[in-house]
Homo-oligomer: A and B are copies of this chain.
Amino acid sequence: MPQAASPASPALPVIAIHGGAGTLTRSHISPEQERAYHAALQAVLRAGQDVLAQGGSALEAVCVAVQALEDCPLFNAGHGAVFTAEATHELDAAVMDGSNLAAGAVAGVTRVRNPVLAARAVLQDGQHVLMIGAGAERLAQSAGLAMVAPDYFSTEARLVQLRAAQAKSSGAVLDHDGAAALAVSAQEGPLHEGRKMGTVGAVALDAHGHLAAATSTGGLTNKRPGRVGDSPLIGAGTYADDRTAAVSCTGHGESFIRVAAAHDVCARMAHGGATLHEASEAVVHQALAAIGGTGGLIAVDRLGQVCLPFNTEGMYRGLARVGQAPESFIYR
């Protein structure tokens, strides 16, 4: 496997992931807490890296990585997803294959254990791109995917966050137990969970030169039921095109939809001749910033270049090239 890429030789396969962007917690974070997040990110990276090392497709690698992120309760997707205002979970996910622009997505699902696999089932079915609600669940079940009771997604930490968000929006005064619970919640991770914009995602370049992207989310804590953010929307939170880049976004979803963030990275490269770095930075620091949009994105191009820009205080993120040690980051 060549260690240096030239225009004529294939680039080293690489995977990059994110686990949400947001503001830093004000309370002191212990080294143990930070280590837990780094360990989780690196385990996910290794899972995706293994797929690529064995010659697997970028599509397979991003699905494996996002499935692992969904299964980890530290991140807002799958098990550990945030609660809606009605204390339910509504999950969204998308995948896109840059080799043929095939895409699949689900929104508003409540019983599919791994929404990213449901999105992939929609892609593989091939008839539609976006399926919502019960129709999406029927397709996932027909594809043989694991279905769960809705409380599979619930964790105590997320419930505390919901109650905190509801108390804040109602102006209610917290009793001692409530305040104590909030303090616990605020100390849960390096990024402030009450204000973190939670999403998980992965992008990859495989040994065959193909790109893919996947994104999954539980949405916003205390969101109105029925709200769908950018994650499952092809072009907004997720996009992949072998000619340009694979992109997965995280942040205030409505802003990413309004600027078609993921597609705009690719469009700046395709139509404007921008590099991956120029395109990614322009979308995050210019297009999104112009409408007050906060968050970040991960992007990889056919040369194996990776860009992980964000305009928040931190973003859980990392990358791993085949044959090299995974690297993970939280702060700037």
Please give the number of chain A residues whose Cβ is less than 8 angstroms from any Cβ of chain B in the complex. Answer: 44
CA distance A257 to B108 in the complex (A): 19
State which residues 61-79 of A face B: CB under 8 Å.
Answer: none
Given contacts A226-B136, A226-B138, A263-B267, contact A129 B258 (CB under 8 A): yes
Which of B139, B235, B272 sits near A236, CB closer than 8 Å?
B235
| A226-B133 in contact (CB<8A) | yes
A233: interface (CB < 8 Å): yes
A289 CB to closest chain B CB (Å) equals: 13
| A234-B263 in contact (CB<8A) | no
CA distance A130 to B224 in the complex (A): 11
Given contacts A234-B236, A257-B103, A258-B101, contact A133 B135 (CB under 8 A): no
The number of times this chain is found in the oligomer is 2
A134: interface (CB < 8 Å): yes
Contact with B along A210-232 (1 / 0, CB 8 A): 00000000000001111111000
Q: Which residues of A contact B (CB under 8 A)?
A: 100-103, 107-108, 127-136, 138-139, 223-229, 233-236, 239, 253-254, 257-260, 263-264, 267-268, 271-272, 274, 291
| Further contacts, 20 of them, CB under 8 A, given A129-B257, A135-B226, A138-B226 | A100-B291, A101-B258, A101-B291, A103-B257, A108-B133, A127-B224, A128-B228, A129-B258, A131-B227, A132-B132, A132-B133, A135-B225, A135-B227, A233-B234, A233-B235, A260-B263, A267-B268, A268-B271, A271-B272, A271-B274
| Sampled A-B contacts (13; CB under 8 Å) | A107-B228, A108-B133, A127-B227, A128-B223, A128-B228, A129-B253, A130-B228, A131-B226, A131-B227, A132-B228, A139-B226, A239-B260, A267-B268
